[in-house]
Structure 1
Amino acid sequence: MDISIIIVNYRGWNALDECLESIDTIVSKTVTFETIIVDNCSNDGLFTVFKQKYSKFTFIENSGNNGFSNGCNFGASIAKGNYFFFLNPDTKLTFEALETLLQTSILHPEIGILSCLQINENNVFYKQNNLFPTLGSFFGISRFIFKKLNKVKLQKRFNNNNTLFYPDWVTGAVVFVSREWFNKINGWNEDYWLYFEDVDLCKKISLVKGKVAVTRETTIFHQHGGASRLNIKTKALTKTEVIISKHVYIKNQFSTGIQIYLHSLLIIGVFSEKIFLSLLSLFLFFIPKLKVNRLILKNLSVYYFNAIQKQTWISPRAMNYKKLDY
């Protein structure tokens, strides 16, 4: 088996349906592949429906909504392919993309993680000149200043006509990696429930001298947020997890002194912003989007209380948090 396509789903059935339809139309005599869908316990009755509709694909149910990293590792644990292709359910795949990613990986074994161009429903290409968060570029303002100061250097790095370009990290929506590289870094880090796990994965690849690359030779459709931001409550949850995952990344990637500095700045900044916007939402109650901030503030208050109690920054939803109780 050449490729194992691994898709993690949680109640994103509409997007997943279009994704699986695109895969179902692929016929190839040169590339062998399987498709594995890991459902993170959607528990809404549609798992069986999809399993019957796409009977030639492999559907497995997770023990709970254990997060993206855990779902990816679960899928990889039963995969038969020499290459793992982690794909979001809100994408559409073509044979051209599948073949290009495989051939590029074969021709460039030094590439640990490969991705490709991504385009949304408005025909806009996603920016993929992603850099690892550093002490001087972790927050929005400092990141803006860093990019301005290094504008010429970054333009030279990314604005070229080469077939391949090399960002520090690529989004988890489209990740192509060989089994060998995947095993070398022990897979996805299950400290993360959602967000920043892709940054962490690419960081681990770079630490073992692998390259992270994007090929310009093919493009995949990706509807950003199409499977995660379904309503206000879900939006508040996902935005909360972005903040939580920042804390986890700080803990995993920085020295103790820098950790204290970044954790403190993040907490102060987030609470200041969310308290202000929550108070504003009481007066501007006719703007529904502002209500999200009250939910985020509530979620974060619970998280920080648990972080102090458990002495860990890991999200309570993440698999490695659950292992703390064993």
Structure 2
Amino acid sequence: MDVSIIIVNYRSWKPLLNCLESLLSIDKTKIDFEVIIVDNFSNDREFDFFQNKFNHFTFIRNNANSGFANGCNLGAREAKGNYFLFLNPDTIISPETLNTLYTTYNNHSDIGILSCLQVDRKSRFFYQKNIFPTLVQIFGINRFFYRKINKKRIDTIFNSKEELFYPDWVTGAVIFISREWFKKVNGWNEDYWLYFEDVEICRKIAQKNGKIAVSRNTIILHEHGGSSRNDFETEHISKTEVIISKHVYINNNFNSSTKTLAHVLLIVFILIEKTFFSLLSLFLFFNLKLKTNRYILKNLCSYYINALKNQTWLSRRSVNYQKINL
């Protein structure tokens, strides 16, 4: 088996349908591949329908919603391919994309992870000039000003017209990696429930002298947010987990001189921001986006209390948190 395509799903059946139908258009005479869908306990009666409709694909029912990293690792354990393509359920692949990724990866022995250009339905390309988070860039507003101040330098790095360009990290929506490299970095880190696990796996590969590359020769349609923000509850949980995962990333990757400062600044900045927008939502009660902040603030207060109590930055939803609290 050449490639195992691994998709982690949680109640994203509508975009998943489009994704799986696009995979049916790939010519299997050019490349031998399998498709593995790991459902993170959607528990909404759709699993059996999809399993019957796409009976040539492998469906795995996870026993809990254990997060993206856990779902990816579960799919990889069942995979037969020499290469893995981790793909979001809200993506649509063109018939030639898989072969392009496979050929490009094999033609560049220095690549550890390969991705490709991504575009949404409005033909807007996703920002992929990604640099590893630092103390300066871990906060959204700081990151904005950092990019503005360093725009010329960043554009110089990524302005090549070559087939490939090399960011520090790529989004987990489209990641092509060999089984060998996957084993070298011990797969996805299950400290994370959702978000930043893609940054960390890229960092681990970079530390072992592997390159992170993006191919300009193929494009994938990506309906950003279609797999993580498909209802109000899922949205405020996923937005909370973005912040929690920042803490996990800081704890795992920042040095001792900046780690504590980064945690403190993130806590202060986020609590001030969420408190302000929560109060504002009481007056603009018709605005659902503002209302989300109240739930995020509640979730974060619970998380920070738990972090102090148990002396861990891990999300209570993450597999590794559950392991240490058995």
* Aligned counterparts, 1:1-326, within 5 A: 1-326=1-326
Structure 1 distance, partners of 2:141, 2:30, is 48
Check conservation: 2:6, 2:37, Cα contact below 8 A.
yes
Q: Give, in angstroms, the shift of residue 156 of structure 1.
A: 1.2
Structure 2 distance, partners of 1:167, 1:56, is 36
Structure 2 distance, partners of 1:179, 1:25, is 25
The 1:12/1:304 distance shift into structure 2, 3 A limit, reads same
Unaligned 5+ segments in structure 1 are none
Structure 2 distance, partners of 1:149, 1:105, is 34
Q: Secondary structure at the match of 2:290?
A: helix
Structure 2 distance, partners of 1:288, 1:89, is 25
Check conservation: 1:116, 1:215, Cα contact below 8 A.
yes
Q: How many residues align?
A: 326
Check conservation: 1:28, 1:95, Cα contact below 8 A.
no
Structure 1 distance, partners of 2:52, 2:151, is 52
User: What do residues 88-126 of structure 1 show as CA deviations (whole Å, max 9, x unaligned)?
Assistant: 000011231100000001001210000000110101111
Shifted more, 149-158 versus 250-259: the winner is: 149-158
Check conservation: 1:189, 1:201, Cα contact below 8 A.
yes
Between the two proteins, what is the percent identity of the paired residues? Answer: 58
Q: Secondary structure at the match of 2:66?
A: coil
Check conservation: 2:191, 2:314, Cα contact below 8 A.
yes
User: Which residue identity does 1:167 align to in structure 2?
Assistant: P
Q: Give, in angstroms, the shift of residue 310 of structure 1.
A: 1.3
Shifted more, 134-143 versus 180-189: the winner is: 134-143
Q: Give, in angstroms, the shift of residue 138 of structure 1.
A: 2.0
Q: Give, in angstroms, the shift of residue 145 of structure 1.
A: 3.5
User: Which residue identity does 1:95 align to in structure 2?
Assistant: P
Check conservation: 2:22, 2:95, Cα contact below 8 A.
no
Q: Could you list the runs of 4 or more consecutive aligned residues of structure 1 that deviate by over 4 angstroms after TM superposition?
A: none
Q: Give, in angstroms, the shift of residue 256 of structure 1.
A: 2.3
Structure 1 distance, partners of 2:37, 2:232, is 26
Q: Give, in angstroms, the shift of residue 228 of structure 1.
A: 1.2
